Amino acid sequence: MALLIDTPRWPWRGRLWAHLISDESIDELHHAARELGLRWLSFGRDHYDVPDTAWADACALAELVDSREIVRSLRRTGLRVAGGKPQKAWRWTESLPAAVEGPEVRRWLDRTRHLLPVSAIEVLHRPGEHVVLHQLDRPDRPDLGDLREPPIASAQVIETVADGRYSVELVLGGT
């Protein structure tokens, strides 16, 4: 089996969290994460953090293993990303840097803000990546139309429903 998951045992924000990895490719990992409705923000460069509320669904896709096997498998396959947690952590910022926010991105953001009566908009970054997260307090997905397409080739648009809340993330950078 190419997907592996451990038991949720790491507490954060009132939940327990597990780790989901692929021992084949990061693309396979992203595909599984989209199937499970995991946000890009839960991607830790070589794994996804999976809340206990999504764990049973993740176990239907992945083999349950010990946490040590998660690390061993990532190292064995060459998919382990070195650098430690501080470099992987998301940081909140006031706005996108000018170098990242070109005219196409600005137009996409403006159109999205007018379309979605969002309860929260956050801009987060970590080295090499920026994410603009729009979040609604309801689970129904609005019709984004052509806004489902990223404004630039190097971006991604990811829609998810988690914890009864719809979100759309514009991911700038990252793989």
Residue 93 — φ and ψ, nearest 5°? -140, 160
Check residue 83 and give its pLDDT.
Answer: 62
**What would you report as the CA-atom Rg of the chain, rounded to the nearest whole angstrom?**
16
**What value, to the nearest 5°, has the Cα angle with vertex 139 and ends 100 and 104?**
20
Domain boundaries, the chain: 3-87, 91-173
Check residue 86 and give its pLDDT.
Answer: 47
pLDDT in tens, 84-143: 554 567 899 988 998 899 999 999 999 998 888 776 789 999 888 999 999 888 898 889
Asked if residue 35 has pLDDT above 80, the reply is: yes
pLDDT in tens, 44-73: 889 999 999 999 999 999 999 999 999 999
Q: Model's pTM, two decimal places?
A: 0.84
Q: Would you say 25 and 3 are in contact if contact means Cβ atoms under 8 Å apart?
A: no
Q: Give the position of tokens 């060459």.
A: 78
User: What is the arithmetic mean of pLDDT over 143-156?
Assistant: 94
What's at 67, amino acid-wise? Answer: S
